[in-house]
Structure 1
Amino acid sequence: MSERRDPYQVLGVARTATPEEIQRAYRTLARRQHPDINKEPGAEDRFKEINEAYHVLSDPERRARHDKAGRERARPRGVQTVDIDDLFSSMFGGRYGTGADTEAHITVGVEEAFRGGRRTVTLPDADGRPRRYDVNIPAGVVDGQRIRLAGQGAPGVAGGPPGDLYLVVALAPHPRFRVQGRDVVLDLPVAPWEAALGARVPLDAPGGPVRVDVPAGTSSGRRLRLRGQGLPNPRGRPGDLYAEVRIMVPATLSTRERHLFEELGKASAYDPRGR
């Protein structure tokens, strides 16, 4: 296996980068390398590498551990510091015979996060060899959530039990859905007459097709809320679905359509600029 690159290098940010700078870099690179958008060879591997780097640097504790490890590697030979927790971990396997817990990252699509299900993932084991795991993706899983695979971590010491494997979820960027916590936001294209007169229009939501009531007099940018239609929550209230109205105008008009729009322009006293 090739050596993992430093996450700062992967995201192209400085070691002093703020969380906001790290997030902006991640979003830019994730959109560019998403397999649904980028069909170049290696895009999927680059996308996974970007997600792994982001989940190291976006979590303060993981970032601090990474930075500490980097400082230790850079320390001159002969100069060592001893961490009591690390010492006991190396001597007794973390929990006095129990194997160490390990962590890996998996990417989950928005639709898969909505409905959940079982999936087989292949990850390198402690020796770098590929190993297959059957994973239950819980419905309503969110970005950064950890899925525990009991007993699938590092082997124990002196016959002790193995540790656990934790899979850190990264929600894949989606061409249409924008996930904010458990809420889902997407654009709702409507025709000018639907926005003016009101209409009940179809919408492809993460959980399947739904219909949305567009009130008469709706303008572009208005958010229509569908309560409880966002990501499920096994421990509480589900998220909401927000449809942002986008009024779409035909690129070309028939003679009849042009005539009707001209008649409307003459008959209406409405000024959208409020002059």
Structure 2
Amino acid sequence: MAVSYKDYYEILGVSRAASQEEIRKAFRKLAKEYHPDVNRDAGSGEKYREINEAYEVLKDPEKRKKYDTLGPDWSQGQDFTPPPGWGGGVHMDFGGDAGGFSDFFRTIFGGFSGGGRSASMEDMFFSGGSGRGRDQEMVLQLSLEDLLEGGTKTVSFERAEPGPDGRLRKARKTVNVNLPAGVTDGSRIRLKGQGSGGGDLFLVLRIAPHPRFSVEGHDISTTLKVSPWEAALGASLPVDTPSGTVTMKLPGGTQAGKKLRLKGKGLARRKGALPGDLLVRVEIVIPEKLTDRERELLEALSRESSFNPRG
């Protein structure tokens, strides 16, 4: 079964030799541009899902290595059929739009959804002849707001179960999952007995890209744009946090790129531990156009000041 090839490097606008940092920066730029909360243009939602899928592959060294084995001679949108003997692995159905991965992704990295070798029912049900069901793992993608709210989330997936005749068959399962305090991107939640044949199901939490915030463990990062005079003189400025706007004191002489920390404004940790922090990176923005008076004042400052940024 042919599917449309996805050139993940082209989607993110990076070369095949791009570093992980270059991939991360390209992803963050595009995610901010196409996030449905800020871009209402037709097709932006699909573009956003495509960007997220490309990053899911290229940020993971193992997935990237496997993807690269397909070679560089494919074009975006070209009909694609997996090479003979290609091994897929077990695909977990996310249900609804959670995950939102394309048929191409599922063909390369999972079974049940098209070409490649799907794990057989026997593979899924048995584990090394021990008689115990096989543990399974799936990604549960949440928004930052989901993680902050906590509570219960509904998850749907497919697993192998014995039918009335005793033969294994695919069956859809829906469970309610409580999000424990302290989980963050990359955390694993174990659902005992919910895998195929009575094995366990492990949910790996992934936080979807956000237009203003990124998650680093239990800390949350954001960028604050300031004027040159605010950075030089200091100021009290409004800063958006996931739970609302607060006022932050910017010290005089703050340099571009400096990170300021707002204690306790990050994600909750385990019971009894202090929450993470909000890390605010300062970005100094220069006005592109000046009024005559602004130009006059800046020229006067340049004549008066002895400051030399290069020495």
The bucket for the TM-score relative to the shorter chain is 0.5 to 0.7
Residues 29 and 134 (structure 1 numbering): CA distance in 2 closer, same or farther, change over 3 Å?
A: farther
Question: CA-to-partner distance for each residue in 1:180-235, whole Å, 9 max, x for gaps?
Answer: 22222221111222112211111112333222110111121221122232222115
Which letter does structure 2 place at the counterpart of 1:227? K
TM-score w.r.t. length of structure 2: 0.58
Report the Cα distance in structure 2 between the residues aligned to 1:220 and 1:251, rounded to whole angstroms: 17
8 A contact 1:26–1:50 mirrored in 2:
yes
- Note the C-alpha offset of 1:53: 8.5
- Root-mean-square deviation (Å): 4.1
Report the Cα distance in structure 2 between the residues aligned to 1:168 and 1:215, rounded to whole angstroms: 40
- Matched residue, 2:206: 170
Structure 1 segment 108-257 matched on structure 2, within 5 A: 108-126=142-160, 127-128=169-170, 130-155=172-197, 162-235=198-271, 236-257=273-294
Give 1 or 2: higher helix fraction. Answer: 1
Residues 119 and 49 (structure 1 numbering): CA distance in 2 closer, same or farther, change over 3 Å?
A: farther
- Three-state SS of the structure 1 residue aligned to 2:252 is coil
TM-score w.r.t. length of structure 1: 0.65
Report the Cα distance in structure 1 between the residues aligned to 2:201 and 2:191, rounded to whole angstroms: 5
- Note the C-alpha offset of 1:25: 8.8
Percent identical pairs in the alignment equals 39
* Correspondent of 1:101 among 120, 130, 135: 135
8 A contact 1:179–1:185 mirrored in 2:
yes
User: Is 1:262 matched with 2:296?
Assistant: no
- Three-state SS of the structure 2 residue aligned to 1:230 is coil
Which letter does structure 1 place at the counterpart of 2:244? G
- Three-state SS of the structure 1 residue aligned to 2:134 is coil
- Matched residue, 2:310: 273
- Three-state SS of the structure 2 residue aligned to 1:104 is strand
Residues 56 and 151 (structure 1 numbering): CA distance in 2 closer, same or farther, change over 3 Å?
A: farther
- Three-state SS of the structure 2 residue aligned to 1:125 is strand
> Which consecutive unaligned segments of at least 5 residues does structure 2 have?
10-17, 37-42, 64-85, 88-123, 161-168
Report the Cα distance in structure 1 between the residues aligned to 2:61 and 2:171, rounded to whole angstroms: 22
- Three-state SS of the structure 1 residue aligned to 2:296 is helix
- Note the C-alpha offset of 1:55: 6.5
Residues 263 and 87 (structure 1 numbering): CA distance in 2 closer, same or farther, change over 3 Å?
A: closer
- Note the C-alpha offset of 1:10: 8.8
Aligned residues: 230
Which letter does structure 2 place at the counterpart of 1:112? D
- Note the C-alpha offset of 1:49: 7.9
> Which consecutive unaligned segments of at least 5 residues does structure 1 have?
13-20, 59-68, 71-85, 156-161
